[in-house]
Structure 1
Amino acid sequence: MPPEPTTASSSAIAATADDPGRRSHYAEFYGDAPTPAEPYGLVLGNCQAESLRIVLDSEGASWIRVPAVFELTADDLPHLRRLLAGAAFVVSQPIRDGYRDLPIGTAQLREAAPRAVFATVPSIRFAGLHPAHLILRDPGFVHGDPPLVPYHDLRVLAEAVGAEGLPARPSAATVRAIAELSREELRAREERARTDVIVSDLFDAPAFDLMRTINHPGNPVLRETGTRLLRALGLPGEARDPGRPLLASVEAPREAAVIEVFGIDAEPVEHWTVEGRALGVAEVREAHLAWYAERPDLVEYAWLRARPTVELWHGVS
């Protein structure tokens, strides 16, 4: 499976190797800054990979910033091969062979890094704290993400498709069922990919500091995942706290039903936060409904894909 594409801060960097901003951002990757003399490592995957690189920057290895795999181009391959050939450590999320028609699948990366201690870690998704939210993309990603926030709200999608009877507030049983389903899906991905690091147990007691959105882990999850990676790689110490929130460009609302079910010490939040700006749920709803109105084929496809979650909202009482 490829990592899930997301709106990462690094995705704003132009995806061409001759772009000055990109070359400056990834100076060691492009050879514009010296490769560390000490043993170095690489973390490859989606936007979570860069945050893991940051927390892994500890004693025993230097970790080089590399583009997210969904940003890599054929022109980047010589630079990637050079670094893989000399890497002492490589961390990779599960990536299928030939992802985006490039030889950057996890097995292919392993072959290209013969000297490296290699560890795999799952892409982290957990919907238990945000049971109405979905990431749904049409085949070929023709339509892109909805405006303002790249997440679909099941209730807004139901409104767009003309479905009736979907509760505005999930029941306690629905919240629990979605959380358990999400944990089971993460466990299944870990088992299927036989990842060296397991993270699904981190969501046994859901709390908002664990996930900012359904696919953006908070610092506690990233740090514990990083510490488990260090152990898997045979490196000393623990993952570090960077002193700032990671993957914090988007934060989802916090629903009262979730707070009550899990006994979380928090107040409901009825807005999104995007790059520090509050966006009301009503504002996002209106923008998404207008966007859906121009894309009836996407609405039909998204509603079909959302059926398992819809059934939990309807069928669990």
Structure 2
Amino acid sequence: MTSTALPAPTAAAARRAHYAAFFGEADLPDAYGLVVGNCQAESLRIVLDAPDRATVRVPPVHELTAPEVERLHEILPGAAFLVAQPVRDDYHGLPLGTRQLAAATAPRARVVTFPVIRFAGLHPFQATLRVPGVDATPPIVDYHDVRTLAAERGMGVRERLDARGVHAIARDSLAELQRREQSIDVRVSDLLEPVAVGGMRTVNHPGNAVWMPLGERVLGALSLDGAPTDPGRPLLNAVHAPLEDWALDAWALNDEPRPTWIVDGRTIDPEEVVEAHRRWYGERPAFVDAALERVARMLDVWRI
């Protein structure tokens, strides 16, 4: 007997299935909430979601197309609450600004903002960068090492930092987060101290040790009863940046150092990343120049 294998779903079909309720391919729950932002928003949504406070999974704002933004505005008036990261008005030329989304909710809906979380305490060599006009991401991992960027322009930098340098970069990133929190409803910066390995997997991927208490704070700000939902698995777990011994020593942590990357469960030698990124930088000199401007304060600490 001959069997015919069913065709694998296309990426577009798989995406629509993943966000089925958002796309109208599954029923919206009663009294649903929405959590909107970058990839961090989905982790917060997971810990907020519960049988008595259902949430709808929404694609990250940087992925949304014009028809999808129209769909978002269709379902906003029915939301019992909106939790959002700060997004500027007319982001990508679309009505995706946090104020624009809040204005589309019903008068009874509760709206709470939380910050984009970045903290370099454990990864003082790492940056996430976007440069206008460069529609690409580097290969293997979408993170930039200031040492690799500096080498591309022949700048002399250290291979590692002492505790003073690590603490200086950590203070700077924490101060920037605190500055952003001044106009936001729920703060997170104090959850990043004391520095612990469970706090951040990369410079912008917090672990459950951050998401659970942040979820509790958001529930309080929304005046919703109950505790955050333990997902039973690590959140934002796909990418782990190296844990270098000198960075751990700077915080007197006893965790085992790990010089490698872990990406989707696969161990990757950092030299493989360095070589791939240097080739990528070599094809994009304008990106390198703009990136070095953006990491100038961090580079000041790293320079020899």
The alignment status of 1:287 with 2:276, answered yes or no, reads yes
Per the TM alignment, residue 77 of structure 1 is displaced from its structure 2 partner at its CA by 3.0
For these two proteins, the number of residue pairs brought into alignment is 294
In structure 2, which of residues 103, 107, 120 is the aligned counterpart of residue 111 of structure 1? 103
Aligned to 2:256, the other structure's residue is in SS state coil
1:145 aligned partner: 137
Amino acid at match of 2:139: P
Distance 1:159 1:77 in 2: 41
- Decide whether aligned partners of structure 1 residues 297 and 140 sit closer, same or farther in structure 2, where only a CA change above 3 A counts: closer
The question of 1:231 aligning with 2:220 is answered: yes
Q: CA deviation at 1:304?
A: 2.2
CA distance in 2, matches of 1:277, 1:271: 10
Letter in 2 for 1:122: P
Match of 2:6 in 1: none
The amino acid of 1:33's aligned partner reads A
Q: Partners in 2 of 1:123 and 1:300 — Cα distance?
A: 25
2:207 and 2:235 in contact (8 A); partners too: yes
Distance in structure 1 (CA, Å) of the matches to 2:257 and 2:233: 23
Matching residue of 1:5: none
Shift in Å, 1:108:
0.7
Is the counterpart of residue 50 in structure 1 residue 42 in structure 2?
yes
Matches within 5 A, 1:122-161: 122-142=115-135, 144-161=136-153
1:20 matched residue in structure 2: 13
CA–CA distance in structure 2, aligned partners of residues 137 and 78 of structure 1:
26
Q: Distance in 2 between matches of 1:58 and 1:33?
A: 18
Q: Is the 8 A contact 1:59 1:236 kept in 2?
A: no
Partner of 1:209: 198
CA distance in 1, matches of 2:129, 2:110: 35
After TM superposition, list the pairs within 5 Å mapping 1:73-222 onto structure 2.
73-114=65-106, 115-142=108-135, 144-164=136-156, 166-191=157-182, 194-222=183-211
Q: Is the 8 A contact 2:76 2:105 kept in 1?
A: yes
Structure 1 segments of 4 or more deviating over 3 A?
Answer: none
Q: CA RMSD in A?
A: 1.4
Q: Unaligned stretches of 5+ in structure 2?
A: 1-9
Q: Distance in 2 between matches of 1:68 and 1:103?
A: 14
Query: Which consecutive residues of structure 1, in runs of 5 or more, have no partner in the other structure?
Result: 1-12
Aligned partner letter, 1:113: T
Q: 1:139 and 1:77, CA in 2 relative to 1: closer, same or farther beyond 3 A?
A: closer
In 2, Cα distance between the equivalents of 1:229 and 1:102? 27
Contact 1:58 1:237 in 2 (8 A): no
> How high is the sequence identity, in percent, across the aligned residues?
49
Contact residue 260 and residue 267 of structure 2 kept, 8 A: yes
Q: Do the aligned partners of 1:60 and 1:235 also contact (CA within 8 Å) in 2?
A: no
TM-superposed CA distance for 1:59, in Å, is 5.3
TM-score, with length taken from structure 1:
0.89
In the TM superposition, residue 284 of structure 1 has moved relative to its aligned partner by 0.9
Secondary structure of the residue that 1:42 maps to in structure 2? strand
Q: CA deviation at 1:225?
A: 1.0
Give the Å deviation of 1:154. Answer: 1.1
